[in-house]
Amino acid sequence: MRDTVDFPNPAFQAAGNEMGPNGNGRMPAPSEDCLYLNIWTPGADRRRRPVMFYNHGGGYMIGSGSATGQDGTHLAQLYDVVVVESNHRLGLLGYLFLGDLAADDRYAANQGMLDILAALHWTRENIENFGGDPDNVMVWGESGGGAKTAAIHTMPDAVPLFHKASIESAAPLRFPTRAGATARAERTLELLGLTVADIPALNGIPAERLLAIQQSEAANGAPPWGDPGSLPGFGAFVDGTVIPRHPFADGAAPFSAGKPLMCGTCRDETVFFSLFGPPDIFRIDEAGLRRELGRTYQGTELDRVIEVFHRSRPDATPAQLYFAITTSPIWRDAIKIAEAKAAQRAAPVFMYQLAYKNPTLVPGTDFPLGSPHASDINLKFANTDKNLDSLLNADQSPGRLATARHMSGLWAGFAHRGRPAADGVPAWPAYTPQRRATMRLDAECTIVDDPDRTERLYWQRG
């Protein structure tokens, strides 16, 4: 018997926010002793409720299954489900791959994902004691957690452990390769001043030193979308065994074909990533739009992408166009996931876009937040009463509360029946390449066929 009143140790990472002595006290300090999970249940009565197994975000680098915004209390109370969230190794301690450098089978690949697999096994074996149904498990996650969910969808050993999935604000068509993970390991040894012959010495290096090395380079986490590059960050990768293939670049995994899927994004994803710097980007003019986009697009391609989005969104300001253009490739790749799943003709896929226009202004500007990355977390967990000191969650208007009711109800409906449905929301058709029906989540939800079609056709022109 164990005391389970307090939240457990998060995976090793920089303390702060809600963690440890530098945080607000919800969780203890991060630790290498982190393989724990949380369960929220209406009752330990063996009633076999749907299980919602959530993977926290944070780009494989930070985060916890105990974070306030994703507290499972309200979901369990409102929708008669059991919520499970695990802590698992992150960053260097979870994804440093030494197997091809040390030629030693003790150095497993994708250890952080194996931790999640172990949590799924534990859930399979024990969740009935907590009122959950081991034969009705939904795996879901946002951002880095969405990428972890895509990894689970692509892991043969996970097939008997889950029955439906939701990939949210993440569109990983490809994972880093085994060669890329090895290149990252070589770079890590270099930063530590070690050679391959020194690999056994890693066991004697304090975790704090490893964390400092992990954080010494800007791009040290595997992104939840886009191509990973030749020197990827730490995260899930195609090792050939645990994860034998890319998630969706070559079609969806055949061994998960029979499992229903949800996928989608927030309409203004990239606004989030500009909230932590100078507010200048929110005030750009047309010349500033060209300057900022010129970091990615050149020449006629720059002219063309601006022209297409001006035509698609004629009333948008230059700043709004900037965030629409930078968000659009994430939406494009989410569409590719839905197309790959639909092409299997084995289980439905449901496409969504969170479009609630949060009116809260970015500090120092007249730019409203809209629906940025991570704004969905409190909504789908029905946690509009939490994190009120956060810019993303301060809005308590009836429109945001209604959006939360709709989103949490739909997600719980998917957990119950494998088809998302909720009171006060129109019927949600499965996505097909012919109709491209998409749920637009808002205070008044609507089904939109092929949203932003002009933009989709632009990206698919090649």
Positions marked catalytic: 143, 269, 373
In 3-state terms the chain splits into helix, strand, coil percentages (rounded to 5) of: 40, 15, 45
Angle (deg, nearest 10), helices 299-312 and 286-293: 130
Helices (H) and strands (E) in the chain, counts: 13, 11
How far is residue 55's CA from residue 90's CA, in Å, rounded to a whole number?
A: 12
| Strands 82-86 and 132-142, bridge-based pairing | unpaired
Backbone torsions φ then ψ of 439, nearest 5 degrees? -80, 120
How far is residue 18's CA from residue 390's CA, in Å, rounded to a whole number?
A: 13
Q: Which of 383, 351, 177 is nearest to 260 (CA)?
A: 351
The answer to whether the beta carbons of residues 45 and 133 sit under 8 Å apart is no
How far is residue 250's CA from residue 359's CA, in Å, rounded to a whole number?
A: 40
How far is residue 425's CA from residue 407's CA, in Å, rounded to a whole number?
A: 9
Could you say which DSSP state residue 374 is in?
T
- Tokens encoding 117: 């697999």
How far is residue 441's CA from residue 432's CA, in Å, rounded to a whole number?
A: 19
3-state SS, 119-131, equals HHHHHHHHHHHHC
How far is residue 243's CA from residue 125's CA, in Å, rounded to a whole number?
A: 23
DSSP for 260-286?
A: -EEEEEETTGGGGGGTTS-GGGGG--H
- Tokens encoding 258: 């029979």
The answer to whether the beta carbons of residues 395 and 359 sit under 8 Å apart is yes
Residue-level length of the chain? 462
How far is residue 457's CA from residue 49's CA, in Å, rounded to a whole number?
A: 42
How far is residue 84's CA from residue 123's CA, in Å, rounded to a whole number?
A: 8
